[in-house]
Structure 1
């Protein structure tokens, strides 16, 4: 008797549709890169020739009109490439797009935007295939029934940090990530406030958003050592030479992390192999989609590196991230943005109540998230 493998059922693409979305908020996330004056999302729906469908999300946090640009990239270039195409395994689709559109990516100088669209489409075809066989995504990916995974509160605003830390702790969190990379004194003051407010057992991570060169990173990391930081994210430019990352890692007593701006499996593997990163942070909506994040995480776990999934988008991508981590057995944490975002909390049903630092993995088939059609209209651009 042949063994049934849900991963290798053929998919014939009938239609790919992009939905650019925008929600206005009182205050969006802030970092040393700048602020997000609006919350954006770009969902993509894929349907096969039998009527099965799945949803994905394309990263579009910056700039303020990124959602429309990604949607038109899908509509004008990517969807026509996929219509009528047959794939014997859902994991073949993204590499096929990367190969077919490589010249276009180089010609336009928009490799990042294309990669983000490919990530969303990879998510959509995975969701389609899991729904088609009536499986939750974590089970579809080979997971063994993990129902909750670790999370951390991300990016409290620059307002009353002491008050926000209290609210975050009371909400059930056990870990937080602070944005730094501003003036050194401001960074230290924020971390000091958080540590005093949250106590010694609370996990604190920090994100410099690529703000420093090697010399400044060495100085700043040394100043952070008394505060018991779990990891420091992007202390250098993500595309800085690997030898510089390696030197900084050897100097630092704080583990280094990165991943949201790494855009190839090879680059992740090189970081892991030379121990220049101890925590990798793939983002399912920014590069690689489900297949890419899964490959990176498995490679990391096999070599004793940690995987924390980066994410700061809509409820759909959040559900997908939870399922990926559950499919890997639940080791690591998923980022949970604590800033107002109706596209995360109001676009569809998802339980984001934190209990002892953990979030429930959505039930149902696929990602367990169905965008509400009326909300798609309400937030549509």
Structure 2
């Protein structure tokens, strides 16, 4: 049964924060999000989220890109299913993206639309997204605490532990000597059942990354994420993997099924982390997640944004199964927490997957309305 889109709504939000979120490549001074709603001619709807963390003006840009540059490809058009929408939009926007060189924004808008369409399709069947993708999907998934600044890790890990987490990921890539010293100290504070990972956010050259893994070789890090730029030479990634006893992780900045096939085939990564808001949405990343699992690698979806993307990532992980963990940014974010992703539970270490249709989202929370910076609608 084809899907004819009759209405599209998109809203960009931006929330000021008292403590900026720092990475090795830049600082987020507020928390943005872009939420999209699609509706078919029968009135069935679905929700998605578009990546908006970078650049600083990215949220409003992507929302307007959807409305002003892609609306003609969507409204009143019929699609067989979500993969058909994904493939059609990717093909039809190729020259537009080539003309302006903005491959990322177009991919991210398509990813958000893909998630919304998958939500719509699942809602039509009365199933949760997780069970729409895999009938044997898990009813909950384990989480890890992410976004932890290495300089504040003692306090942030303690707070995360109190919230129910037993796995943590700290951001490194600022000062090599300080980072490695602080990491070593953190392991002295962990319980036996706790895990610590590190994320360099593409900070280092090959020589610097090799220095880090040599210095930290005796530390039982769960993984080292993006120690090199995602587009570093394959030989550099291979050299680092050969040099490291720490599993390497990456994927949030890999795009395309071919890109992930290459990443899987190199044997470099122990953990792969596609981000549904940056490329692929639910349907594209579902294909990739299955390939990762079939290759015997660990699938841990990357996500750092609002509530819709987090909930969708949890459904995808529940469908994929395995020993993966759901990334949960522990920095304050009203655009996530307003959705009550844990449904009132105080324990954040496990994420519940309810059986309600689709992603279980009907309307946006009223409390985020004051933070809207752009909102638009297209309809027949």
TM-score range, shorter chain: over 0.9
- Match of residue 351, structure 1, among 342, 357, 365: 342
**Correspondence for 2:166:** 174
Measured after TM superposition, the shift of residue 354 of structure 1 is: 6.5
Q: Quick one: which of 94, 107, 117 aligns to 2:86?
A: 94
Please give the root-mean-square deviation of Cα atoms over the aligned residues, in Å: 1.6
> 2:200 aligns to what?
208
1:283 and 1:112 map into 2 onto residues whose CA distance is 13
Q: 1:306-365: per-residue Cα shift (whole Å, max 9, x none)?
A: 11010011111111011001111253011000000000101x232174748422124411
CA displacement at 1:111 relative to structure 2:
0.3
1:190 aligns with 2:182: yes
List aligned pairs for 1:217-228, cutoff 5 A. 217-228=209-220
1:15 aligns with 2:7: yes
Q: How far, CA to CA, are the matches of 1:357 and 1:19 in structure 2?
A: 30
The aligned residue for residue 26 of structure 1 is: 18
Q: Judging changes above 3 Å, is the alpha-carbon distance between structure 1 residues 354 and 153 closer, same or farther for their aligned structure 2 residues? A: farther
5+ long unaligned stretches in structure 2:
374-380
Match of 1:55 in 2: 47
SS at match of 2:177: helix
Which residue of 1 is the match for residue 313 of structure 2?
321
Contact 1:54/1:127 (CA < 8 Å) preserved in 2? Answer: yes
- Tell me the CA shift for residue 243 of structure 1: 2.4
Give the 3-state SS of the residue equivalent to 2:310 in structure 1. helix
Q: Which runs of 4+ in 1 moved over 3 A?
A: 157-160, 352-357
Larger CA deviation: 306-315 vs 218-227: 218-227
The answer on whether the counterparts of 1:32 and 1:182 sit within 8 Å (CA) in structure 2 is yes
Kindly indicate which of the two structures has a greater share of residues assigned to strand: 2
TM-score for both structures, normalised by structure 2: 0.94
Residues in 2 aligned to 1:137 and 1:380: alpha-carbon distance in whole angstroms: 27
Find the residue that maps to 1:278 and give its secondary structure: strand
1:282 aligns with 2:274: yes
SS at match of 1:340: coil
> Using a 3 Å threshold, how does the CA distance of structure 1 residues 169 and 291 change in structure 2: closer, same or farther?
same
Deviation of 1:145 after TM superposition, in Å, equals 4.3
Which deviates the most, 366-375 or 221-230?
366-375
Q: Mark the CA change 1:228 to 1:138 in structure 2 (over 3 Å): closer, same or farther.
A: same
- TM-score, scaled relative to structure 1: 0.94
Shift of 1:158: 5.2
8 Å contact kept, 1:349–1:370:
no
Gaps in structure 1 of 5+ consecutive residues: 1-8
Match 2:148 to one of 156, 161, 171: 156
Following superposition, the deviation at residue 152 of structure 1 comes to 0.5
The structure-2 alpha-carbon separation of the partners of 1:85 and 1:327, relative to structure 1 and needing over 3 Å to count, comes to same
2:129 aligns with one of 121, 125, 137: 137
Where relative contact order (Cα < 8 A, 6+ residues apart) is larger, the structure is 2
